[in-house]
Amino acid sequence: MLYTRSLSASDQKIVDDLRLNGSSKRKGEEELFKQYLYLIREGSGRYGLSEDESFDAYSDTILAAIHDISIGLFKGSSSLKTYLVKIFRNKCVDLLRKKTTIKNSVNRNSPVSELLFEISDNARSVLQMLVDQTDFNLLRQKLNELGDTCHRLLQFWAEGSRDKEIAELMEFKSADVVKTTRLRCLAKLRTLYKTSL
C-alpha cells in the first residue's frame, strides 16, 4: 500500500482499489469516475467544448488515470485531483486543436489576406480598409455589449496601463482584482465573438 501525505484518505482508497483486481478495481474505477464529474462542466465552460466533447475528454482522462495508477506511474506526489485536472486540461486542449485543424482543413477558403494579393494595388488597399473597418466595428460593438466597467478596463489595458494604474483610475481594491476582472472581461468578449461568427 502506497500512502503519501498529498493524498486524502478517500483518494488513497481509490488508488489502492485501482491497484487490485476484480470487484475492488471496478469499485475504484466507479468512485474515481463519480468523484470528479464536475470537470465535464468545466470543460464546457472554460474550453468552450460541447457537453459531449467535454464528456469524451473526461472519459479519456479517467481511462488514462486508471491506466497510470494501475501500472504504478502515478506516484502520489500530487493530489489525485491535481493529477486528473492536468490530464483533463491536456485532453481538452488536444480536442480543441483537433477541432481547429479539422475545421480549417474542411472549410479551407482562401483567407482575405491571401486573396488581396490576387487583385490590383488600388483595389487591395480599399478592401484592406474595409476589412479593418469591419473588424474595428465588430470589436466596438462587442465591447459595448460587455458593459461600462469591462469596456473602460479593457480600454485602459489596451492603451498600455498597468493593473496598478487601472486599480487607481477605476477605484478597484488592488491590481490583483483588476487582473481577475480583466480575465473575466476577456472571457466574456471571446464568448461574444464566438456567438457572432
- The domain that contains 81 carries what CATH number? 1.10.1740.10
Tell the residue number behind the cell numbers 488536444, with chain if given. 94
If asked whether residues 29 and 45 sit together in one domain, one would say yes
Alpha helices for 71-174 (secondary structure H):
80-106, 112-116, 121-146, 148-158, 163-170
If asked whether residues 100 and 129 sit together in one domain, one would say no
In the numeric block, which cell numbers belong to residue 153?
478596463
| Environment class of 140 (CB within 10 Å of its CB; exposed 0-12, middle 13-18, buried 19+) | exposed
The pLDDT of residue 108: 47
Instruction: Give which of 58, 5, 8 is closest to 34, Cα–Cα.
Output: 58
Range of the domain at 190: 112-196
> In tens digits, what is the pLDDT along the chain, a chain of 197 residues?
444 456 888 889 989 998 988 888 888 888 888 888 888 888 888 888 888 888 888 888 988 898 899 888 888 888 899 999 999 999 988 888 887 775 544 444 444 445 444 444 555 455 556 555 666 677 778 778 888 888 888 888 888 888 899 999 999 888 888 888 888 888 888 888 777 65
The pLDDT of residue 155: 85
The pLDDT of residue 2: 46
Please give the Cα distance from 156 to 169 (Å, whole number): 9
The pLDDT of residue 57: 87
Torsion of CA 53, 103, 105, 102, to 10 degrees: 0
What is the total count of domains within the chain? 2
CB burial of 34-60 (b: ≥16 within 10 Å; e: otherwise) equals: ebbeebbebbbeebbbeeebbbbbbeb
Question: Does some domain include residue 3?
Answer: no
Domain boundary among 106, 134, 161: 106
The pLDDT of residue 87: 92
